[in-house]
A = this chain, B = another copy of it.
Amino acid sequence: MNRQTLIEKVADIFVSQMPYNQFLGIAVQTLNPERAAITLPWQDQFIGNPTQRILHGGVISAVLDNVGGMLAAASIIDKLPDSELHTVPSKLATLGTIDIRTDFLRPGRGTLFTATAHLIRSGNKVCVCRMELHNEEGTQIAFGTATYLVG
C-alpha cells in the first residue's frame, strides 16, 4: 500500500473500527500529515448538564484526543521510508495517548462540531498536537494539547 492509501486506512480505523467512535458518530473531513479535521454531529445523549443543551466535557476531550491521534498516525506513516511501510500496522498498534490537556473555553452549544489538529512536535518517539473544537457558527468551544507515543 502506498502512503495515501495507508492514511485513508487510518481514518477508516478511527471511524469504523473503534466502538466508542462509532457511538460518537465522528466523520473524517481531512487527514494528511499536516492537518486533521473531523466532524461530530450533535446527539442528545452528549448532554452533560442538567439544564442546558451543551456537550459533556468528556465528549469534547474524546473528540480532541481522536483528531490529534489520527494526525499522529498520519505523521508516523509520512516519515517512514518506503522500505518500512510494511511496519505501519505494528507501529499503529503501539500508538497511544500519553497525556492530554483540554481547556473548555465556551459552552459546547451547536449542531455540528469540527475538531482540528495541528502537529507542533513530530519526533521518532513522541508527537505533540494542539487541537481546537468549533461549532457550525465558527465559535471556538475548546482547545487541547496532547502528547502521543509514536515509536
A: which residues have CB within 8 A of B? 13, 17-24, 44-51, 56-59, 61-63, 65-66, 93, 96-106, 120-121, 125-126, 128, 130, 140, 143, 145, 147, 149, 151
Contact A46 B20, beta carbon cutoff 8 Å = yes
How many copies of the polypeptide does the oligomer hold? 4
- Distance in angstroms from A65 CB to nearest chain B CB is 5
A104 nearest CB neighbor, chain B only = B97
A45 contacts which chain B residues (CB < 8 A)? Answer: 19-20, 22-23
20 intermolecular pairs with C-beta atoms under 8 Å apart: A19-B44, A19-B45, A19-B46, A20-B45, A20-B47, A20-B58, A20-B59, A21-B48, A22-B45, A58-B65, A61-B61, A62-B62, A98-B98, A99-B128, A100-B101, A103-B121, A125-B125, A126-B126, A145-B145, A147-B147
